[in-house]
Amino acid sequence: MTESPPNSLNIALAGFTPLEVLGWERLGEKHGFKVLQPVIGCSEMLQEDWQFFASRPHVLVVHAGRSDFFSDVHIEANRQVFRSVPTLVLAPVEPAFIFKIHRYDIAGLLAPETSEEELAECVAKLHRGDKYFSPAIVDALVAFSYEHSTAGGRTASSAAHLKITQPLSIRELEILRLVVKGLSAKEIADKLFLSVHTIYTHRKNILRKLACKNAAELVSYALDKGLLRAVQET
């Protein structure tokens, strides 16, 4: 069942056509969030001295293909935006581009053709402080990470090597992959035929072992360290 954000949730849009904005407004009416006046792009915000933040959006949604947020000129400066407002990016499933932008405090990544239900669910998760990368995005990141690790002459991590270099068990790695994909504890429990309490215990242990404070840090750590690639190979 798709989660519905609270009625007080406001989102800002960047890089969407007028017709797409209307679609988001209809989606907001259905799922209980309000669409603020669209932002054209990063340059617009900079010219207005960050007046964007005066509207107090809870989530920023950016169409990566039609905005300048991720240009080489702006991407580093935009950490201020992404750290201030949870940002959902709709991006083409191009591994190199996705790998580039996920390192800049992006909270959510989806493909442009994502269903309305998944869009609404992702907005709700970001508003709660969670990260959400769609399965297609995660697979692209894993593939890119794997390709570049082997291209550099390093062999893929085996389960035996993993036990030496990483403190996570195979089960914990399996749960970590599902956490990164945005599944809730109940969804993970149902998928793995475990109790919700067991999943919470595993998740708490994963956070402790990797010295991460929350799911957002966990996602970045897993992608940067190639943990998800290790799961695919086991």
Q: Please calculate the CA angle 105-108-110 and round it to the nearest 5 degrees.
A: 135
Last residue of a domain, one of 136, 164, 195: 136
Tell me, what CATH number does 219's domain have?
1.10.10.10
- Give the pLDDT confidence score for residue 169 in this predicted structure: 85
Last residue of a domain, one of 69, 101, 136: 136
Same domain, 97 and 182: no
Same domain, 56 and 94: yes
Is position 3 within any domain? no
Is position 14 within any domain? yes
**Domain residues for 85?**
9-136
Same domain, 22 and 119: yes
Tell me, what CATH number does 17's domain have?
3.40.50.2300
What's the average model confidence in pLDDT over 118-125?
91
How many domains does the chain fold into? 2
Same domain, 66 and 159: no
What's the average model confidence in pLDDT over 160-164?
36
Give residue for tokens 């989102």. Answer: 11
pLDDT in tens, 169-213: 888 888 888 887 777 888 899 999 999 999 989 888 888 888 877
Same domain, 208 and 123: no
What's the average model confidence in pLDDT over 6-25?
84
Q: Please calculate the CA angle 191-169-109 and round it to the nearest 5 degrees.
A: 55
Same domain, 45 and 127: yes
Is position 224 within any domain? yes
